[in-house]
Amino acid sequence: ETGVTQTPRHLVMGMTNKKSLKCEQHLGHNAMYWYKQSAKKPLELMFVYSLEERVENNSVPSRFSPECPNSSHLFLHLHTLQPEDSALYLCASSRHGSGYGYTFGSGTRLTVV
Amino acid sequence: DQQVKQNSPSLSVQEGRISILNCDYTNSMFDYFLWYKKYPAEGPTFLISISSIKDKNEDGRFTVFLNKSAKHLSLHIVPSQPGDSAVYFCANTSGTYKYIFGTGTRLKVLA
């Protein structure tokens, strides 16, 4: 158990579907993140929420829509995705300003068909 | 633009020997360097970090070295164990929320 739980673990969706990824942490952290991991690429930061406010959006297409209703939960809403969006989506949390690392979830393996 | 590069996509080492994983970075803006370890089907887990004011940090079998003049970071694992087989990512951060990750090096420790 990593302390950061992501559901679902695997997701296959069509390009016209709408789905949501969920992330939950009960570590008392105050910052949460979405990362995308594609093959042979660095981990790409997508969104950052600090104290439930979005503080960074790294030029992510609007077909990805994050939501942070409280400090323990983070969602990534997906709609009209493309096959190139297939990747591992990782959620992480941290204590803001700690500099001592994130706690990552196990990820959601997303396949867009 | 800050970049973190891991130029070796894979590394194989015999059990009991030393594993050395390397990382280069392009500028020194950020104050902390970290290593993460990732097993298949799991998220990365924090392994060890080093502040830019130090040149070495040790934790059990893991030692991270920082050479600021060469802008080079390395992780030494000794002795290597089969359970160390994983993908290792280096990362650089200012200590707030922004992290820059490398592409990872897949380590295989042969029994």
Interface of A with B (CB under 8 A): 2, 4, 6, 9, 31, 33, 40-43, 45, 48, 50, 55-56, 90-92, 94, 96-107
Which chain B residue has the Cα nearest residue A5? B43
Concatenated DSSP letters of B56-77: EEEETTEEEEEETTTTEEEEEE
pLDDT tens figures, B72-94: 999 999 999 999 999 999 998 76
Query: Taking residues B31-54, what's their average pLDDT?
Result: 89
User: In whole angstroms, what is the distance from residue B55 CA to residue A84 CA?
Assistant: 40
Instruction: Give the dihedral sign, CA A40/B50/B46/A50.
Output: negative
Backbone φ/ψ region at B94: left (φ over 0), alpha (ψ -120 to 50), beta: alpha
Concatenated DSSP letters of A13-80: E-TT-EEEEEEEE-S---EEEEEEE-TTS--EEEEEEETTEEEEE-S--TTEEEEEEETTEEEEEEES
Name which of A24-33, A36-45, B47-56 the model is least confident about: A36-45
**% pLDDT > 90, chain A:** 62
User: In whole angstroms, what is the distance from residue B108 CA to residue B15 CA?
Assistant: 9
Rounded to the nearest 5°, which phi and psi values hold at A57?
-135, 105
User: How close is the nearest chain B Cα to the Cα of A53, in Å?
Assistant: 13
Query: Given the structure tokens 């164990």, which residue do they identify?
Result: B81
Interface of B with A (CB under 8 A): 4, 9, 31-32, 34, 36, 41-46, 49, 89, 93-104
- CB-nearest partner of A105 from B31, B43, B100: B43
Q: For residue B78, what is the DSSP state?
A: S
Which chain B residue has the Cα nearest residue A96? B96
Name which of A16-20, A37-41, B52-56 the model is least confident about: A37-41
Confidence of residue B29 (pLDDT cuts 50, 70, 90): low
Measuring CA to CA, which residue among B31, B13, B33, B15 is closest to residue B23? B33
What is the pLDDT at residue B1? Answer: 64
